[in-house]
Chains A and B, each alone.
Chain A
Amino acid sequence: MAKLAVNPTRMELTRLKVRLKTARRGHKLLKDKRDELMKQFLEIVRQNRALRLKVEAALIKAGNSFTVASAAMSPEFLEEALLYPKQSVALDFKYKNIMSVNVPIYEFKTSNDDPSEIFPYGFATTLGELDDAVLALSEILPDLLQLAQIEKSVQLLSQEIEKTRRRVNALEYVMIPQLEETIRYIVMKLDENERGNLSRLMKVKDMMVAEARKKNAY
């Protein structure tokens, strides 16, 4: 691992030690965040799978009924029958914070709660299959919205997890080893200087002692 390009000074050493401490702390925190996110994510993603399978099956069934109805009825009649819906859906949403990821919580209101009141047309000119399709759709509507909420959460969480995982790895395998290496380098360099200085002093002392002896001999 390459060391950082810094001057081997005592000041730099102190600075790097502080940075290493921060990096270690950040690494630990991010790791905890990643683990917790993962736990939440796996829980939600399981729900997502099950709900999606359910919704898709129901939608296909409703779609098939609708196809039969549209085959038997003229397109104009069909369009006319569905033109003015009796019910309307309004949506409101709040945020829920999962480990600093804001995921939406949807709340929806239908203007019409009576399930037998959803057909916006008279039964005289329409086929029974159309009723089936509309009824099946209205039954799956709460699940459909639930799916939207869960699936959006999964999307947002997976991105956050990916980001967090990269940060953890960058700290663990790049930043921290680099800092440690650089600190070791500076410590060794400073020690080497210290030893060099010491031996130079000893040498000078020896020379001075020899000089003094020489003078005394005369």
Chain B
Amino acid sequence: MYKIAVMGDRESVLSFKALGIETVSVENVAEAKNQLHRMAEEDYAVIYLTEQFASELKSELAVYAERVTPAIILIPGKGTTLGIGLAAVKEAVERAVGADILGE
């Protein structure tokens, strides 16, 4: 069996607790980095990460993007979406096709 976790600042992840998903609340980027590496080594299959932290962890995310586990999926944190998640999809298209052919 594999595990699912949500990682982000305390307020963003607390509500996921009600669903029975493991929540990991982190205060700063360094802590987020450590937790991310720890979870990647254990059997976490899916990690949802708030966009606020994702923007600071670009290089780590690039490493895990090439591996099958864990799948790190960006979700909007509290309030608004920063559009990083959608930009990542666009980036993947540009990488594969050479141009963004989906458009807006």
Contacts and interface: CB of A to CB of B under 8 A. Distances in A.
Pick from A91, A138, A165 the residue with the most CB of B within 10 Å. Answer: A91
Given A137-B18, A157-B96, A56 B81 contact: yes
Contacts of A88: 20
Contact of B68 (A104, A134, A157): A104
Interface of A: 38, 41-42, 45-46, 48-49, 52-53, 55-56, 59-60, 62-64, 66-67, 70, 78-79, 82-83, 85-93, 95, 102-104, 106, 108, 110-112, 118-120, 133-134, 137-138, 141, 144-145, 147-149, 151-152, 154-159, 161-162, 165
B45 A161 contact: no
B40 interface: no
Interface in B1-55: 1-4, 11-12, 14-21, 45-46, 48
A149 to B, nearest CB: 8
A82 B76 contact: no
Contact of A156 (B68, B73, B89): B68
Determine the main DSSP class of A at the interface with B: helix
B96 A93 contact: no
A205 to B, nearest CB: 64
Interface of B: 1-4, 11-12, 14-21, 45-46, 48, 65-66, 68-69, 71, 73, 75-81, 85-86, 89, 92-93, 95-98, 101-102
A148 B78 CA distance: 20
A91 B2 contact: yes
A147 B93 contact: no
B79 A89 contact: no
B95 to A, nearest CB: 5
Contacts, number: 145
Contact of A83 (B11, B17, B46, B76): B17
A148 B15 contact: no
A149 B85 CA distance: 14
A148 B73 contact: yes
B79 A63 contact: yes
A161 B98 CA distance: 10
Contacts of A154: 89, 92
A133 B11 CA distance: 13
B76 A141 contact: no
A165 B97 CA distance: 9
B19 A85 contact: yes
Contact of B75 (A56, A70, A82, A162): A56
List 5 tightest A-B contacts by C-beta distance, closest first. A88-B20, A152-B71, A161-B96, A158-B92, A158-B96
A67 B11 contact: yes
A83 B17 CA distance: 7
Contacts of A41: 96
B68 A82 contact: no
A49 B86 contact: yes
